[in-house]
Structure 1
Amino acid sequence: MSQPFVVELNPVAFHLGPIQVHWYGLMYLLGFFFVAVLGEYRRRHGRLPVSRDALGDLFFYGMMGVIIGGRVWYMLFYYAGGIRWIWTEPLALFRVWDGGMSFHGGMLGVLAAVWWWSRRQRLHFFDTVDFVAPLVPIGLGLGRLGNFINGELWGKPTTLAWGMIYPNAHADDVAYVDSHPAWLPQLQQFGGLLRHPSELYELALEGVVMFFVIWLVSMKPRPRYLVSGLFALMYGCFRFAVEFVRLPDPQLGYYFGTQWVTMGQMQSLPMIVIGLWLLALARRAPTLPLAPVATKA
């Protein structure tokens, strides 16, 4: 076997004086940028009857929903100390530089922002969700790229040719070999265990594949609920599948005495159910015509 790729990239993109600008933060900024550009493109093609200013408000509220929802959800379900932080160290909620964001929480935050904005604009909630759904995968993919650059969220050990070495996982490698001695030769040969690059799997599936499929589907007017349902179903299935080769958060581990049921899978199952339900609703839902492009707020 040839020398595997070592995931040892510099997480700092550049410096602004004493300030370090991290690639992970840049991925978020790029994601918001592309959402805004593609959203304006869809608006100008009559996908939502609102003005540019109103759409800008939607993106601002959505950005706040991603950050607040993603952080709060992580602290409620993934934080190592459990929910005791609420009364023992409430300021931990704001230590975002320590890491810790959840997609499912970010999604709920965006949905809350969309609901509030849609009421103000007197639009059907799912018309707005159908408008936003094709824009989300590109942000998901960039986020996973940021995880890869950080050398985090690695997968299980593998013998596949595209397995990669994660120096940040060295302690986990040694512990794994202690209980699985058959992997010792690989550790000795490469200085670490080959692992599934699960972040790249999610980049490909949740980012690239979902973007092209949902974007192409949404290029023509579709029944209400269809685009939203397709997004929920695809994300739920892809995330559930990748969790089989991605290690769970160490503070959580596996559930129900198994070696495969993870928190990510349990939170993805409702998305699969909701996706199927929305697709069923779409069969009898109206197909809205293209709207005239609004120019006034």
Structure 2
Amino acid sequence: MTELLAALTIFMGEAALKFPEWSPALFSIDFDFVGLGTFHLRWYALGYIAGIGLAWWYGTQLLKRPELFGGTAPLTKDGLDDLMFWIIIGIILGGRLGYILFYMVPYQMDVLTADPMAILRIWDGGMAFHGGIAGVVVVLAWFAMKRGVNLLSVGDIAGVTAPIGIGLVRIANFTNAELYGRPTDASIGMVFPEGYVPGSTPPAYNWDTGDWIYRGDELARHPSQLYESVLEGWLPLLVLSILIWKFGALKRPGLVAGLFLLFYGFGRSIAEHFREPDSFVHGLPEWLTMGMILSTPMWLGGAWLVWNALRPRKI
């Protein structure tokens, strides 16, 4: 309750709310006595864990109802279990590799040159969602070929379950005070403790005192993480679920996967107008961001999948 009240505390007159003073970790365990430091279970990690777990649960509910797929489910429960393992690998490797290729190589090559091991330090931050999607696509294609299952139907399951994780991780971005929005004087604006280094790294948090460290010159900004949670996560989940359970969308392989890609491309492109661009990305016009550029293949791929699913079939 105190955190909620803190969020509603008026800051900078009546123009903005102040970021809630909660810890970025659910709990911490001190291992200093064995020289291992302190382990922090962060909300961010919890967002990934809960998102993957709920996605698996939702996928099993779909597979229990083969009539949703037109009579035969594309996977068994054991098959889904195996697929989820490989999807996790695809998310981690694809997300990290995407960040390296899309952001560090073009804009932070000096960092890689000075410290090549930064590529492996995933715990220091740096995951690209579009890279994660690419990793999942590769995994789905490999899995479908290996198991001899319908790639489009498997992609549909991924398409309706992925928004759960996206919605939760965007909320975790909010609790971590990262990837915040552009400055605004609207009443919805929020004052975040801003990062100290270029890029989208989280701001300083004093683990000893349990306080966020403000520099004193923070601006009121859009809570764009919450916009993205709705536009990229909960809205697609709601619409796609209605199409599946009420209108039989899974009976047209590829339709749900294509609509998910279109939903994400649309939501991300809208949110980019409110989200603060990465400070190290330069050379782009003001109306264009890296997030929009990387969403272009999703627009194209999604449109093709929807067209392919809805086009008349020869009898």
TM range (shorter): 0.7 to 0.9
Residues 170 and 49 of structure 1, relative CA distance in 2, 3 Å threshold: closer
Verify the 8 A CA contact 1:70 1:106 in the aligned structure 2. yes
What TM-score does the superposition give when structure 1 sets the normalisation length? 0.83
Alpha-carbon offset, residue 131 of structure 1: 1.8
Q: In structure 2, what is the Cα distance between the partners aligned to 1:104 and 1:21? A: 25
**Structure with more contact order per residue of length (Cα contacts < 8 Å, sep ≥ 6):** 1
The residue correspondences of 1:76-225 to structure 2 (distance < 5 A) are 76-79=101-104, 82-83=108-109, 89-168=115-194, 192-219=218-245, 220=248, 221-225=250-254
Percent identity, aligned pairs only, is 35
In the other structure, the counterpart of 1:10 is: 23
Q: In structure 2, what is the Cα distance between the partners aligned to 1:37 and 1:283? A: 28
Aligned: 1:250 with 2:263: no
In the other structure, the counterpart of 1:24 is: 44
- After alignment, is 87-96 or 234-243 more displaced? 87-96
Q: In structure 1, what is the Cα distance between the partners aligned to 2:196 and 2:187? A: 19
Alpha-carbon offset, residue 222 of structure 1: 3.2
Alignment: residue pair count: 267
SS at the partner of 1:167?
Answer: coil
SS at the partner of 2:28?
Answer: strand
Q: In structure 2, what is the Cα distance between the partners aligned to 1:193 and 1:202? A: 20
Q: In structure 1, what is the Cα distance between the partners aligned to 2:148 and 2:60? A: 19
Verify the 8 A CA contact 1:114 1:128 in the aligned structure 2. yes
Q: In structure 2, what is the Cα distance between the partners aligned to 1:53 and 1:137? A: 22
Q: In structure 2, what is the Cα distance between the partners aligned to 1:56 and 1:132? A: 13
Aligned: 1:282 with 2:309: yes
Alpha-carbon offset, residue 84 of structure 1: 6.1
Alpha-carbon offset, residue 90 of structure 1: 3.2
Verify the 8 A CA contact 2:75 2:149 in the aligned structure 1. no
Could you report, residue by residue, the CA deviation over 1:115-152 in whole angstroms, capped at 9, with x for unpaired residues?
11111221121121012110000100111111111101
The residue correspondences of 1:42-61 to structure 2 (distance < 5 A) are 42-46=62-66, 47=69, 48-61=73-86
- After alignment, is 226-235 or 85-94 more displaced? 85-94
Could you report, residue by residue, the CA deviation over 1:197-238 in whole angstroms, capped at 9, with x for unpaired residues?
110100111111011011211222431221111111111011
Q: In structure 1, what is the Cα distance between the partners aligned to 2:182 and 2:293? A: 19
Verify the 8 A CA contact 1:6 1:165 in the aligned structure 2. yes
Could you report, residue by residue, the CA deviation over 1:16-51 in whole angstroms, capped at 9, with x for unpaired residues?
333111111111111111011111111111243332
Verify the 8 A CA contact 1:254 1:261 in the aligned structure 2. no
SS at the partner of 2:152?
Answer: helix
Root mean square deviation of aligned Cα: 2.2
In the other structure, the counterpart of 1:289 is: none
Alpha-carbon offset, residue 270 of structure 1: 2.0
Verify the 8 A CA contact 1:253 1:262 in the aligned structure 2. no
What amino acid maps onto 1:54 in structure 2? G
Q: In structure 1, what is the Cα distance between the partners aligned to 2:193 and 2:87? A: 35
The residue correspondences of 1:227-238 to structure 2 (distance < 5 A) are 227-238=256-267
